[in-house]
A and B are shown apart, each in its own frame.
Chain A
Amino acid sequence: MGKGRRIQLQILLAALLAASGRAAAESAAAPAQVTFLPHWIPQAQFAGYYLAVDQGIYARHGLAVTVLEGGPRRPVEKALPAGEVTFASHFLSAALALRDGGAPLVHLAQLSQRSALLLVARRAQGIRSLRDLDGCKVSVWPSFTLQPEALFREAGLHVRILKQGPTINLFLRGGVDAASAMWYNEYHLLLNAGLNADELTVFRYDDCGLNFPEDGIFTRADTWRTQPDVCRRFVAATLEGWQYAFAHREAALDATLRRADAAGTGTNRAHQRWMLDRMYDLFLPAQPERYGRLQRADYDRVAQAMRTAGLLRAAPAFEEFHVPALP
């Protein structure tokens, strides 16, 4: 991290703290009871939220936050529109699709600035470039078809797309030639299944003009309308929690592993460390002033791609979707 960038970060943090201090003073009497649902099982992808709770950052902002256990059995797609939870994290594209389906969601903050989605293949099978994928079997998660399909369409590749399950075993066993992987998760699982990085060919969607930012924080439109202050404090405290997590990674790993063990996800520290490190790479790219903010260009790119793919009938206006929860 450059010195200039660090100073900028500090300024940003100071501003956030000032805002939160004011907010805390306003609501010192009774902390607002809110719930947060991560969009996947307990892992370092959500370490910032855990530390904001554990370190009392939410409390300092006058919030009593309950972080719920996410995962396939409690999908955000159902819980948030139904009003079962106050806040939730999700992929930008998924949230747009939900809203298009009638769920009244608004976007509060955009943590991930880069797409972590990859396509991995074995070099030993002769796959070195995109062209080599032509005619191959590629497994794709059903909820992440947008980028792969756009890529194959644009590159004019004819591939046989298979539905990718919850594990990477089909790829490991050679059942498919290429598989989807999250940089922070499945890619590392492949490395820790004994594959070396130089044995893999990796295609990054953000390198292919398909940089769809992922993890964002969402709430229902009515929550934003009735409790904008709570929403702002939640966003500010969450960003602070993430800053704390990046500055105290071992504490972040402890907090994560405690929750992962409670949920019985069967992970390990090495994997969570990798994931936390990648979160830093995804959340804080070159421009720190963008930390937590959604860029109009990114939004437009995702919306346009979704419309083209027929996943979106009409994109909402940027200002309508992305509400000013950050100062």
Chain B
Amino acid sequence: MCPRCLEWLRSPLTVRLALLVLVSTGLIFAAGALYTHHVARGLLLREVQANTRNLARQTVCQIDAVLQSVQPEPTLLAQCLTAQGPPERTELDRLLRALVAANPHIYGSTAAFEAESCAPYYYRPGSGPIAFSDLASEQYDYRAQDWYTVPKELDRPSWSEPYFDAGGGETWMVTYSVPFYRERDGRRVFAGVVTADVQLDHLSRFVADLKLYRSGYAFLLSRSGQYLSYPERAYIFRESIFSRAEEDGDPAKRELGRRMIHGEEGSVRVPSRHLGRMSWLYFAPVAASGWSVGIQFAEDEVLAGLRAMNHTLLAIGAGGFGLLLLAVILVASRVTRPIRQLAQQTREIAKGNLDLRIPELRTRDEVGDLTHSFENMRVALKEYIANLAHTTAAKERIESELKIAHAIQRNFLPKRFPPFPDKRQFDLYADLQAAREVGGDLYDFFLLDDGHLFFSIGDVAGKGVPAALFMAVSKTLIKGVAEQHRLPSQVLDKVNYELAQENEELMFVTVLCGVLELATGRVQYTNAGHLPPLRLRPGQGAAWVDLPPGLLLGVDPDSRYATRTLTLAPGETLLLYTDGVTEAMNAQQALFGADRLRALAAQLAAADPQVLVAGVIAAVLQYSGGTAAPAGPIEQSDDITLLALRYRGPPPDAEPGRSA
């Protein structure tokens, strides 16, 4: 596309719309006007040509009528002279005078004889009486005149070329000559001619008087192309159409002249020197004399009406265009004003000013819809951003709470391994993989005295900071109570009582705890709603440890817990865990399950506690995340806590019986 078009396309909508409408309307208008002009011009010219043709034919008829009316008298006289021979001179004079008197068109007449020199001429000079002139004079030499020689040589009546009859009629005239004959030796011999003259003025006035439109005119050409009548008097009897063609260097005019004098009828469009512009010429022949009548008129005069109509049409068109332009500009600016406003407002909105209200449009058109949609979008956007801020704040709060919960959990659990490097009787390892939302799992171990190890594992029902706090409280209580009461059931009785008191939050915790007598491997244990641990015997697999029944801590202050006892052989391991292990889920929502744990633990029965714990955690994490869906690893939903305690047997130097 050309650069100019591109520039135009970039120009404002109003301008483009106005231009488009105006150009299309202009083209339609111009096409209509051109077609109308063309058709009207054709109709007009055809009409005018028909009129001109009629006019030319009418003029020809008028001339012909005069010429025809002159012919009978000389014809009759010639017939008489042929039949009866020359009459007496006085009789001849009387006949000629009567001939002239009989027909007002006849200017003069003679009977000119071949043998004897005799040519009496009667004519009417001016409007006076009939006069006489003898043409049989030496100067005149009638036998050499065209009016005499032509009919004689052609042997038939004929009209002469127009001539000035010097020495005869002394005027411009045309002569009709009829030969007459006499008998000599049985042969018909030419004896002379009888003539009748018609004054040329008499004929050319039919043409000279003709007026057409403002400057249209008619002209008359003789048989040889001479101008017999023409608006420029200087042409008459001097110029011929051929001499003008030669002087003007106009071969077409010469060709036209030849058509005219050869008796053709027709019309041509030619430049007129006389009118100084393009003209139409219609021409028709005068049969009797071989002349041609031409009627010429300026084309623009004929088309003057059409031109006036065109001017009016143009004025109407121009006015219409003006109105149209105004209307288009008005409509276009009205249509585009809301769009322009909208564009301005959306620019503001794009800058971030979402409070800018987009005024509602009353119109129900597309622009109204667009404005409405924009307003909806703005409102929705504003709401969304408000929501986003709210959500972000909430999220941030939760995140910080979680951090606190994690900190509590982390800080309250013992993390030093091996915890008692000087105690060779056991190995202990524990780990807690906290969930993103803290699950409230807990584990603990400490030496009650030199020969007894207290260990516990628990799970607060609940999540987050409250669970962490409850966990901290539970752990602190357990430790505090355990230092006073050696029997695990007593510890839990006491702790339960404390927790259940004023437990307005209704927080609960499961706890499994026990005391290992280092010297013997005897374990006293109790349970408050926790999952049974696994007892691993190297070479014999893993077995669930029977647990005494016991309600969760914090439910009922009067709950009582029972203590059970088992004895670990050296190399045996107790594996304690929370439900984060067995209830870990894979992508298909299937649980890790207790059986899978037992199988795994059995495989790892001989391993160190640390290896055992790490192996189980790895297996659980792999289970819950390893077969992850493409969306990514499933986030661990609960704390995963494991505590493994392996009894290694009393040291060689140990004093048996010191335990309680």
B244 close to A270 (CB less than 8 A): yes
B224 close to A193 (CB less than 8 A): yes
Name A184-217 residues within 8 Å CB distance of B. 191-194, 196
Chain B residue numbers with a CB within 8 Å of A136 are: none
- The minimal Cβ–Cβ distance linking A133 to chain B, given in whole angstroms, is 16
Is A175's CB within 8 Å of the partner chain B? yes
Contact of B238 among A174, A193, A268 (CB under 8 A): A268
Residue of B nearest to A73 (CB): B139
Is B449's CB within 8 Å of the partner chain A? no
Residue of B nearest to A163 (CB): B144
Question: How many Å lie between the Cα of A72 and that of B152 in the bound state?
Answer: 24
Q: How many A-B residue pairs have CB under 8 A?
A: 79
- The minimal Cβ–Cβ distance linking A193 to chain B, given in whole angstroms, is 4
Chain A residue numbers with a CB within 8 Å of B244 are: 270
Is B185's CB within 8 Å of the partner chain A? no
Is B237's CB within 8 Å of the partner chain A? yes
Interface size on B, residues (CB 8 A): 33
A193 close to B225 (CB less than 8 A): yes
- The minimal Cβ–Cβ distance linking B54 to chain A, given in whole angstroms, is 27
- The minimal Cβ–Cβ distance linking A85 to chain B, given in whole angstroms, is 20
A interface, over-half SS: loop
Name B13-27 residues within 8 Å CB distance of A. none
Chain-A contact segment, one of B154-162, B461-469, B517-525, B565-573: B154-162
Residue of B nearest to A169 (CB): B146
Is A162's CB within 8 Å of the partner chain B? yes
- The minimal Cβ–Cβ distance linking B215 to chain A, given in whole angstroms, is 24
Is B240's CB within 8 Å of the partner chain A? yes
Chain B residue numbers with a CB within 8 Å of A73 are: 139
- The minimal Cβ–Cβ distance linking B575 to chain A, given in whole angstroms, is 139
Chain A residue numbers with a CB within 8 Å of B150 are: 169-170, 173, 175
Chain B residue numbers with a CB within 8 Å of A194 are: 224-225, 240, 242, 254, 257-258, 261-262
Interface size on A, residues (CB 8 A): 29
A266 close to B161 (CB less than 8 A): no
Chain A residue numbers with a CB within 8 Å of B160 are: 169
Beta-carbon contacts of B131-169 to A below 8 Å, as 1s and 0s? 000000001000111100110111000101101100000
A165 close to B224 (CB less than 8 A): no
Kindly name the residue among A170, A173, A196, A270 whose own CB sees the greatest number of chain B CB atoms within 10 A. A173
A268-B161 in contact given A169-B150, A170-B149, A174-B154 (Cβ < 8 Å): no
Residue of B nearest to A175 (CB): B153
Question: How many Å lie between the Cα of A193 and that of B261 in the bound state?
Answer: 9
Contact of B154 among A175, A192, A268, A274 (CB under 8 A): A175
Question: How many Å lie between the Cα of A70 and that of B160 in the bound state?
Answer: 27
Chain B residue numbers with a CB within 8 Å of A176 are: 153
A165-B149 in contact given A173-B158, A267-B238 (Cβ < 8 Å): yes
Is A172's CB within 8 Å of the partner chain B? yes
Chain B residue numbers with a CB within 8 Å of A273 are: 247
A192-B145 in contact given A170-B150, A173-B158 (Cβ < 8 Å): no
Known A167-B146, A173-B154, A175-B154; further 4 A-B contacts with Cβ < 8 A: A193-B225, A194-B225, A194-B240, A268-B240
- 8 A-B contacts, Cβ less than 8 Å apart? A162-B149, A165-B146, A170-B149, A174-B154, A192-B240, A192-B242, A193-B240, A266-B238
